[in-house]
Amino acid sequence: MGKEFLKGKRIAYIGGVDSMVRYYRRCVENWGGVFHHHRGKSAQGKEAVERVINTADAIFCPLNINSHYACSMVKNACKRSGKPVYFLRTSSISAFRNALVKWGRSLQSA
């Protein structure tokens, strides 16, 4: 994947492991995207999650680290905004990278 693979697309990552955020960010930015992150804590408020989702082109959310409530909140916000959401089985960088490549390639073939 080249530097322009994501062509400035805004990628939101909800939740994840705090110590891994820099790797998620690097993955997106190395491919020419803009990274947004929300810790996924419902205490931070539904509105904060919705703001991140509304500014993103695609949303990625790991299931193994977020609560059922947080995942439901993300799913509903994505439905309302019409944004694509990818629920990842794990918060690993490889799971994120694979889903990001799949999404990016779907844009190129459209």
Whole-number pLDDT of residue 96? 97
| pLDDT at position 81 over 60 | yes
Average pLDDT over residues 77-92: 95
**What is the mean pLDDT of the segment spanning 70-93?**
94
Q: How far is C-alpha 10 from the geometric centre of its chain's CA atoms? A: 9
**Structural domain harbouring 83:** 10-109
Domain CATH code at residue 40: 3.40.50.2300
For residue 4, tell me if it sits in a domain: no
Domain membership of residue 68 (yes or no) is yes
23 membership: H or E segment, kind and range:
helix 21-30
pLDDT of residue 43: 55
Is the full-model pTM beyond 0.85? yes
Q: Domain for residue 2, yes or no? A: no
pLDDT at 3: 77
Please give the average per-residue pLDDT across 50-70, as a whole number.
92
Flag whether 80 is in a domain. Answer: yes
Q: Using one digit for the tens of pLDDT, what is the confidence trace for 28-46?
A: 999 999 999 998 765 567 7
Strand order in the sheet with 10-14: 34-38, 10-14, 58-62, 85-88
pLDDT higher than 80, residue 105: yes
Q: How many domains are contained in the chain?
A: 1
Phi, psi angle pair for 61, to nearest 5°: -145, 115
What span, in angstroms and rounded, lies between the C-alpha atoms of 3 and 71? 30
Share of the chain above pLDDT 90, in %: 65
